[in-house]
Amino acid sequence: MKKQMLCGFMVLMLLCGCTPKKLEGTVNPHREYGEQQSELSYDEHYVTSLTYPKTDIEELDTAIVESVRHHQDRFLAEVANYKEEAIAEFNVSYQSYIKDDRYISVKLDFYRTIYQTSETVETFVYDAEERKLIDLYDIYEDEALPDLSAFAVSYFQKNFPQECNTQEFKIASAPTIANYNQFVLRKDAIVFYFQEGTLFDRLATLEVPYEQIEDHVDIKEERQVFVAYDQVLNEPVKEIDPNKPMVALTLDDGPSKKYTPIILDTLREYNASATFFVLGSKAESEPELLQRMILEGNEIGNHTYSHKQLTTLSKERIEDEIAHTQEVIYKMTSTYPQMIRPPYGSRNDTVFQCAADKKIVAWTIDTEDWRSQDVQQIVEKVLNEVEDGSIILMHDMYASTAEAVKILVPELQDRGYQLVTVSDLYAYGKNKAGKIMEGK
Model confidence pLDDT, tens digit, residues 342-363: 999 988 999 999 998 899 999 9
pLDDT band at 234 (very low <50, low <70, confident <90, very high): low
pLDDT digits (tens, 9 = 90+) for 84-100: 888 999 999 999 999 99
- Are 279 and 253 in contact by the 8 Å Cβ rule? The answer is yes
pLDDT of residue 231: 46
Mean pLDDT of 216-230: 60
pLDDT of residue 25: 64
Q: Indicate the SS3 state at residue 360.
A: strand
- CB atoms closer than 10 angstroms to residue 92: 26
CB-count exposure of residue 294 (10 Å: 0-12, 13-18, 19+):
buried
Buried b (16+ CB within 10 A) or exposed e, 316-331: eebebbbebbbebbeb
Mean pLDDT of 178-186: 95
pLDDT of residue 379: 97
What's domain 246-437's architecture?
Alpha-Beta Barrel (3.20)
What span, in angstroms and rounded, lies between the C-alpha atoms of 278 and 255? 6
Span of 16-30, 42-56, 127-141, 181-195 with lowest mean pLDDT: 16-30
Percent of the chain with pLDDT over 70: 88
pLDDT of residue 17: 44
pLDDT band at 429 (very low <50, low <70, confident <90, very high): confident
pLDDT digits (tens, 9 = 90+) for 281-324: 999 989 999 999 999 999 999 999 999 999 999 999 999 999 99
Sheet holding 117-127, edge to edge: 35-42, 46-54, 88-99, 103-113, 117-127, 132-134
What span, in angstroms and rounded, lies between the C-alpha atoms of 123 and 93? 12
Tell me the CB-side half-sphere exposure of residue 168, using CA atoms within 13 A. 10
Mean pLDDT of 133-140: 93
pLDDT band at 218 (very low <50, low <70, confident <90, very high): confident
Mean pLDDT of 93-116: 94
Residues in CB range of 98: below 8 A, 6 or more apart: 23, 25, 32, 33, 104, 187
**Domain 20-213 sits in CATH 3.30.565.40:** yes
DSSP for 36-52, written as a single string: EEEEEEE-SSEEEEEEE
Higher pLDDT, 222 or 302: 302
Catalytic residues: 252, 395
What span, in angstroms and rounded, lies between the C-alpha atoms of 324 and 249? 25
The two domains 20-213 and 246-437 share their CATH topology (first three levels equal): no
pLDDT digits (tens, 9 = 90+) for 360-411: 999 999 999 999 899 999 999 999 999 999 999 999 999 999 999 999 999 9
What span, in angstroms and rounded, lies between the C-alpha atoms of 56 and 78? 32
pLDDT digits (tens, 9 = 90+) for 247-287: 999 999 999 999 999 999 999 999 999 999 999 999 998 99
Mean pLDDT of 34-54: 91
DSSP for 115-148, written as a single string: SSEEEEEEEEEEETTTTEEE-GGGTS-GGGHHHH
Mean pLDDT of 16-37: 70
- CB atoms closer than 10 angstroms to residue 4: 8
pLDDT of residue 13: 42
Average pLDDT, the chain: 88
pLDDT of residue 7: 45
Domain ranges of the chain: 20-213, 246-437
CB-count exposure of residue 139 (10 Å: 0-12, 13-18, 19+):
middle
Percent of the chain with pLDDT over 90: 72
